[in-house]
Structure formats: structure tokens, C-alpha cells
Amino acid sequence: MKNKKIIIGLPLAALLGLALFAFASNRSVPLRVKAAFVKKFPQVKKVKWDKESDAEWEAEFKMDGMEYSANFLEDGTWKETEHEIEQKDIPDAVKATLDNELPGYEIEEAEISETVDGLTYEFEMEKGEEELEVSIDVHGKLIHKQVVDEEGEKDQD
């Protein structure tokens, strides 16, 4: 009988520990950041917070059936919101740039990024062993292209 209590107690203790960690992590998010998030996304009720850097927080959440991430500075300043898109949802002008500027590369991931400067389309692309991160504006202008090496480090191209 004693063994059954231990077996039941261990998963319960682990679950309680995870819940306390999640609660503690959520509590450490600055109030300004939480308030800015609620103001920008009032309809969102469930948010997972992560510390992106010393000065930046990332919120992950679902909205309209899609997964989003939004980044905020410690003072509550909104920086960016991103969500993945299907290849069929890439505008023609952006597709034309991909075809003309990056022939032979395959899209591994496609996202829309919204910042105070507007919308951009961000791609992770691959051709053989080479991996790129690419940003293109809504008009099809190539804004950024960066090679990513095997360790995930980025080389400016």
C-alpha cells in the first residue's frame, strides 16, 4: 500500500511543481508588459510568456485559430507580432521576388511579421545544405537575406 502512495504522489508532485513554475514565470512578467499585451490583444485570454532577452518578453497565444507570438520591451513597448502562413497565402509580388532572387530555394517556414514599420514576410529557406533567413516587404522588395550555418549562427550576406 505504501508503494501505491509513492507512485501516485510523484506524478502529483511533478504536476504541482510545473504549475508553480508556470505561475512564478507568469508573475515575473512586468505589469507594463502585461497591460500593453491586454491593450493590443484584448480578446486573448490564454498567454504563455517567455523571456526573449534581458529587455524583451515574448507572448505566445492563439487568435482566430492561429498561433501567434508578440514581443514587448520591459517598459511595455510593443515590438512585433508574428504568425505562420501557408505558402498559398503568399502574395504574388512576394512570390515573384522569391522566384527571381532565390531560384531553387525551398520554403521551410513562412511568417507574416507586423511592426510599427508595417508588414513583412519572413522566410526560412533551404537549398541543399544552405539555409537562409529572408525578409520581403509587401511590395516584393527584398529587405534582408542572411545565411544560417549548421550551428544556427547567422552570417550577414
Q: How many residues does the chain have?
A: 157
Residue-range domain boundaries for the chain: 27-79, 85-151
Cα 129 to its chain centre, rounded Å, is 24
Element (H, E) at 34: helix 31-40
pLDDT of 143 above 90:
yes
CA–CA gap between residue 3 and residue 16 (Å, rounded): 20
For residues 133 and 156, what is the distance between their CA atoms, to the nearest angstrom?
A: 10
Q: How many CA atoms lie within 13 A of 29 on its CB side?
A: 25
**AA letter at 80:** E
Share of the chain above pLDDT 70, in %: 78
Q: pTM to 2 decimals?
A: 0.74
* pLDDT per position as a tens digit, 13-26: 444 444 433 443 45
State the DSSP code for 89.
G
Contact 108, 98 (CB under 8 A): no
Query: What is the CATH code of the structural domain delimited by 85-151?
Result: 3.10.450.360
Interval 136-144 mean pLDDT: 96
- 8 A C-beta contact, residue 78 and residue 68: no
